[in-house]
Amino acid sequence: MDGYYAWMIVATALVLMMTTPALALFYGGMTRSKSVLNMMMMSYLAMGVVGLVFVLWGWSEGWGADGVGNGNGDLIASPFHMFGLHHVSPGNYIYVLFQLTFAVITAALISGSIADRVKVSAWVVFVVAWVTLVYFPIAHNVWGGGWFYTHFPNLDYAGGTVVHINAGVAGGILALVIGRRVGWPKDVGRPHNLTLTMIGAGLLWTGWYGFNVGSIVFTTVGSSKQGWGSVTDQFMGETGVTFMNTTVATMAAMLGWLAVERIVHGKATSLGAASGVVAGLVAITPSCGSVSTVGAMAVGAIAGAVCAMAIGLKYKLGLDDSLDVVGVHLTGGILGALLIGFLGTTSSPQGIDGLFPSGGGGLLYGGNANLLWHQFLGVIFTVVWCGVLTAVIGMAIKYTIGWRVSDDDEVDGIDFAEHGESAYDLDGRSGGMLAGTGVVAAAHPKTESREGAMA
């Protein structure tokens, strides 16, 4: 098990990278140049705030055990029982940290729906309330041995429901509660720096191996489910499959998205490639342990193509889901969860683990609709819990401290209004020579004579 422990240290660091900087870059490049810093800061703030909250009461409320979940069969676990990791032994810290990174990125993902217009204070209050009332309870019910999984087991390998459907629903609800940006959809401008977005998507892809492959749970230890020959057999066999499935699904999704673009708009775009990568990763997240290699390609191709079409819906709905959290994460998450009902196979790792709730595989792999039904219930549970409580939190903030910066600040750029900064000084004109001031607040050394330095 030494190798497993070493891998979990790496996997945890990889998932941390997915939020800072990968998601910050992916989202930041898609905003306007006057609001990129605020967009990136929402990811960085989620890291700081959710990370500490997780250690203080998140682990206790979600898992409540020294090791994996406490299996209490209840809707929630006590947030106070293991407050500050009380009674958690350091040998299990890496599992706490691995789960911490998932909570962080889920909260950060929501920020894409509400770009350019939200006060920093409202965001910080929101993520604390949201992880406490939505994320930790849902994680407890799906992963921590809570009520839902105990009564309605379903397959979600690495967080299609807990992370992506959850973030997608929350993003859509918040976009509705907070309202559209000034001038949307006509005057909000195109993505300002797609190179950042391409870098972010690539880093997300790399980090996602920690996310998916790191989500292995050993059924060979202390369990009657002995489908694998040994712990090593399961470690090698299962990580091989999840790594392979994550890879081929993402490739297929990128091509699927690009194919739709080429047919509908005539050109395959870089933003389409980056978006397709993420859509594929989202869809294979729940399914990477339950489908075959070819099944994973199908999951990816379908997710890429469908998400490419789903992102247009927000214009018909009049919903300013700014960076398409609903179109990519909710759509991709639901697809990934439901496609298991068609493509799930009992020769997959989770099949060998004996985790298929219906016993048989998916509809296309000799099973009946029972598996699809279990998957559907998992989706509905997450959508309802998250939808209702996110609406409550969103409205509470709206009518107390308020969500939005002023319209003037939003139009001038939230970066300066909320952070007192601007992201770029490419021509040297802002705050430099032509501003006529230089550094005003800090003492600065006498300027050396520059005689002859300039031609």
Partner 1 sequence: MKLVTAVVKPHKWDDVREALETFGVTGMTVSEVSGYGRQKGHTEVYRGAEYDIALVPKIRIEVVADDGDVDDIVGIIAKTAQTGRIGDGKVWVTPVETIVRVRTGDRDAAAL
Q: Which is closer to partner 1, CB of 426 or CB of 443?
A: 426
Neighbouring-strand partners of residue 344? 291
What is the Cα–Cα distance from 94 to 43, expressed in whole angstroms?
Answer: 22
**Closest distance to partner 1 from the beta carbon of 315 (Å):** 7
Q: Which is closer to partner 1, CB of 156 or CB of 320?
A: 320
User: Residue 356 corresponds to which amino acid?
Assistant: F
Q: Which is closer to partner 1, CB of 311 or CB of 343?
A: 311
What is the Cα–Cα distance from 142 to 146, expressed in whole angstroms?
Answer: 7
**Closest distance to partner 1 from the beta carbon of 260 (Å):** 9
Q: Which is closer to partner 1, CB of 82 or CB of 109?
A: 109
- Binding status of residue 116 toward partner 1 by CB under 8 A: no
Q: Among candidates 403, 387, 389, which has minimal Cα distance to 173?
A: 387
What is the Cα–Cα distance from 67 to 61, expressed in whole angstroms?
Answer: 14
**Closest distance to partner 1 from the beta carbon of 190 (Å):** 4
Q: Which is closer to partner 1, CB of 10 or CB of 309?
A: 309
How many chain residues interact with partner 1 (CB under 8 A)?
17
User: Residue 325 corresponds to which amino acid?
Assistant: V
**Closest distance to partner 1 from the beta carbon of 311 (Å):** 5
Q: Which is closer to partner 1, CB of 260 or CB of 339?
A: 260
What is the Cα–Cα distance from 165 to 106, expressed in whole angstroms?
Answer: 10
Q: Print the binding letters for residues 162-191 with partner 1: x by CB under 8 A, - otherwise.
A: -----------------------x---xxx
Using the CB atoms, write b or e for 26-50: b if 16+ within 10 Å.
bbbbbbbbbbbbbbbbbbbbbbebb
What is the Cα–Cα distance from 52 to 420, expressed in whole angstroms?
Answer: 26
**Closest distance to partner 1 from the beta carbon of 312 (Å):** 5
Q: Which residues contact 72 (CB under 8 A, 6 or more apart)?
A: 64, 145, 146
**How many Cβ atoms from other residues are within 10 Å of residue 271's Cβ?**
17
**Closest distance to partner 1 from the beta carbon of 267 (Å):** 7
Q: Which is closer to partner 1, CB of 140 or CB of 314?
A: 314
**Segment near partner 1 (CB under 8 A), from 65-73, 154-162, 170-178, 257-265?**
257-265
Q: Which residues contact 422 (CB under 8 A, 6 or more apart)?
A: 34, 37, 413, 415, 416, 430
- Hey, what's the torsion of the CAs at 108, 55, 121, 418, to 10 degrees? -60
Q: Print the binding letters for residues 188-217 with partner 1: x by CB under 8 A, - otherwise.
A: -xxx--------------------------
- Binding status of residue 240 toward partner 1 by CB under 8 A: no
**Segment near partner 1 (CB under 8 A), from 19-27, 198-206, 247-255, 258-266?**
258-266
- Binding status of residue 311 toward partner 1 by CB under 8 A: yes
What is the Cα–Cα distance from 254 to 305, expressed in whole angstroms?
Answer: 9
Residue the block writes with tokens 């998957």: 375
Q: Which is closer to partner 1, CB of 278 or CB of 340?
A: 278
Q: Which residues contact 5 (CB under 8 A, 6 or more apart)?
A: 94
**Closest distance to partner 1 from the beta carbon of 188 (Å):** 9
Find the helix packing angle between 166-178 and 93-110, rounded to 10°. Answer: 40
Considering only residues 23 through 82, tell me which ones interact with partner 1, judged by CB under 8 A.
Answer: none
Q: Which is closer to partner 1, CB of 5 or CB of 315?
A: 315
Q: What kind and span of H or E run contains 201?
A: helix 194-213
Out of 312, 318, 402, 438, the residue judged to bind partner 1 by CB under 8 A = 312
**Closest distance to partner 1 from the beta carbon of 205 (Å):** 18
Q: Which is closer to partner 1, CB of 267 or CB of 444?
A: 267
Q: Print the binding letters for residues 261-300 with partner 1: x by CB under 8 A, - otherwise.
A: x--xx-x-x-xx--x-------------------------
Considering only residues 313 through 342, tell me which ones interact with partner 1, judged by CB under 8 A.
Answer: 315, 324
Q: How many CA atoms lie within 13 A of 236 on its CB side?
A: 4
Asked whether the CA dihedral 363, 367, 369, 371 is positive or negative, the reply is negative
What is the Cα–Cα distance from 59 to 49, expressed in whole angstroms?
Answer: 14
**Closest distance to partner 1 from the beta carbon of 269 (Å):** 7
In the numeric block, which tokens belong to residue 304?
A: 């890429």
**Closest distance to partner 1 from the beta carbon of 308 (Å):** 7
Q: Which is closer to partner 1, CB of 327 or CB of 351?
A: 327
Residue the block writes with tokens 């996997």: 11
Q: Among candidates 212, 209, 338, 324, which has minimal Cα distance to 275?
A: 324
What is the Cα–Cα distance from 153 to 136, expressed in whole angstroms?
Answer: 18
**Segment near partner 1 (CB under 8 A), from 99-107, 149-157, 236-244, 306-314?**
306-314
Query: Contact positions toward partner 1, by CB under 8 A?
Result: 185, 189-191, 261, 264-265, 267, 269, 271-272, 275, 308, 311-312, 315, 324
